[in-house]
Structure 1
Amino acid sequence: MTGLTFVSKQSLFNQFYSDLITPLANMIENDETKVHIFYAEKMGEKYLKRYKKHFKNPIIHRQNYRHEELLASYPEKWYQSVMAICNI
């Protein structure tokens, strides 16, 4: 796999855990930054509402997966998606 040597069980745990404990303000906006969110639809609508609550204009990339399933089960597809967002 291209460029995915950093992915480990611990890094997945850290990302999932940090999602749960990181406090965020509401309607975060920065003219110099775009927020891209891979929304795993199988997580439920409450997470989509949460993203829209915390970020004023998030760019939602809907995925028909569970939380982190795209990265954990299809890392090459995840990598290609990230690269496409970054226009690389």
Structure 2
Amino acid sequence: MAANRWIRPEVYPLFVPVGAAVGICVMQLVRNITTNPEVRVTKQNRAAGILDNHDEGEKYSQHFIRRFVRGKSTEIMPSLNGFFSDPK
């Protein structure tokens, strides 16, 4: 059978990262289609032409994750990096 040939127990751990990557891609596609001010799906919105809606663009670009990490350190482990790099 084809299933026994392609789906083996040693392949099961690969399903998690591939599923996560597909989920992230789908989430980004849905986000772009539903909230991006430059994407117009309906014919009525496409006929509107170019809109100068800066508030909506600012709301789209400054999403929750970007607001959360703004002002935080870019280091992954700042205390450990400081321990090894700062002079005593």
TM-score (norm 1): 0.24
Structure number with the bigger relative contact order (C-alpha 8 A, sep ≥ 6) is 1
Which has the greater radius of gyration?
Answer: 2
Q: Which of the two has greater strand per residue?
A: 1
TM-score (norm 2): 0.24
Q: Which of the two has greater helix per residue?
A: 2
